[in-house]
Chains A and B, each alone.
Chain A
Amino acid sequence: DVKVTQSSRYLVKRTGEKVFLECVQDMDHENMFWYRQDPGLGLRLIYFSYDVKMKEKGDIPEGYSVSREKKERFSLILESASTNQTSMYLCASNGQNYGYTFGSGTRLTVV
């Protein structure tokens, strides 16, 4: 069974802090994704990666960066957290011919 693990379920950070959200998958998937989920807006793609050290901007990349140094790990970085980045963040992965497997999500609150 594919597992996608996000390191934290809940985080509270202060405005201006640098925040790291970690995601690890155990099925050797090429593709990994970061989404944020907000009521009424569904799931919006922030960044994705199709290979180690490769990254592509999604629909809302502003204020975020990512890192993929190893195939199994995809990190989302908020360089200087702001209150409008308070949200649920979902990581997902997939291989070539399969649907997404999601992590459990990280609910981030920026105060």
Chain B
Amino acid sequence: GENVEQHPSTLSVQEGDSAVIKCTYSDSASNYFPWYKQELGKRPQLIIDIRSNVGEKKDQRIAVTLNKTAKHFSLHITETQPEDSAVYFCAATQNPYNFNKFYFGSGTKLNVKP
């Protein structure tokens, strides 16, 4: 099955700096890569996703890049703000096959210092 590794496990940045979280996956058949943000005590929420036919996707201050050859994808947050502090999870799946079973990374705790 798929194996998703995520790094770093914790990340501390100063407000206004950029943050980058990286994930690798093992199954070349995976074609959908979402990112979830989980604030303390709340449910994970989808913040951005990318499909394998696209190399990069942006939404305001967040972007995701995908390198299919190397089987890795990254989340980039620019101009970080204290409200970006949360745990971020990457995931990979074959969409719409395999019942959309997601394989998650182990999570990155991002702390943005004011």
Task: Give the interface of A toward B (CB within 8 A).
Answer: 31, 33, 35, 40-45, 48, 50, 56, 58-59, 90, 94, 96-97, 99-100, 102-105
Which of the segments B42-50, B52-60, B66-74 contacts the partner chain?
B42-50
Contacts of B36 in A (CB 8 A): 100, 102
Is the pair A42, B100 in contact by a Cβ cutoff of 8 Å?
no
Contacts of A100 in B (CB 8 A): 34, 36, 44, 46, 100, 102
Is the pair B89, A43 in contact by a Cβ cutoff of 8 Å?
yes
Contacts of B9 in A (CB 8 A): 40
Size bracket, chain B contacts: 20 to 34
Contact of B49 among A40, A90, A99, A103 (CB under 8 A): A99
Taking the nearest CB of chain A, how far is it from the CB of B36, in angstroms? 8
Closest residue of A by beta carbon distance from B109:
A39
A-B contact pairs, 19 of them (CB 8 A): A33-B101, A40-B107, A41-B106, A42-B89, A42-B106, A43-B104, A44-B104, A45-B102, A50-B99, A56-B99, A96-B100, A97-B95, A99-B32, A99-B46, A99-B49, A100-B36, A100-B100, A102-B44, A104-B43
Contacts of B34 in A (CB 8 A): 99-100
List B74-114 residues whose CB lies under 8 Å from chain A.
Answer: 89, 95-96, 99-107
Given contacts A99-B34, A102-B44, A103-B43, are A31 and B106 in contact (CB under 8 A)? no
Cα distance A43–B91 in the bound complex, in angstroms: 10
Residue B6 is within 8 A (CB to CB) of chain A in the complex: yes
Taking the nearest CB of chain A, how far is it from the CB of B88, in angstroms? 11
